[in-house]
Amino acid sequence: MFELEELFRDHAQTQFVVVTIPTNLAVAESKRLVSALQQQDVLVEKVIVNQVFDGENTKQDYVKRLASSQQKHLAEIEGVANNAGVQVVKIPYFDSEVQTIYGLRAMGQMIMK
């Protein structure tokens, strides 16, 4: 167990990437996770926020309301991340599940920007 703890704290070999969605509960859990990891000296460099709606390019009221709600949660996670020196990467909501190698590569490129 001690070796595993050492590995987690070795910034040259290990980092955690927190993945969340822009909802109240998920953001609260992610904030606690980032804080707990940093208190244990575990490197956290990115928070990936998945399934983000773009309310600007739609005429549907439901999507606009959903995007507006997400913006509040995104602002909260971005504030915490900025204070912690962590990058936030937003992944848009796709209308179908990403499954193929091509879809995964495209998503990987978004994450690695």
* Global pTM exceeds 0.75: yes
Q: Cα separation of 87 and 49, whole Å?
A: 11
Query: Which CATH number belongs to the domain containing residue 45 in this structure?
Result: 3.40.50.300
Residues 96-100, mean pLDDT to the nearest whole number:
86
The mean pLDDT value of the chain amounts to 90
pLDDT band at residue 113 under the 50/70/90 scheme: confident
Domain that holds residue 84: 2-111
Residues 4-12, mean pLDDT to the nearest whole number:
88
Q: Cα separation of 48 and 40, whole Å?
A: 21
Task: Count the domains in the chain.
Answer: 1
Q: Which of 86, 49, 46 is nearest to 71 (CA)?
A: 49
Question: Could you report the per-residue pLDDT of 39-81, keeping only the tens digit for each?
Answer: 999 999 999 999 998 877 777 888 888 889 999 999 999 999 9
The whole-number pLDDT of residue 64 equals 86
Question: Over pLDDT 90: what percentage of the chain?
Answer: 57
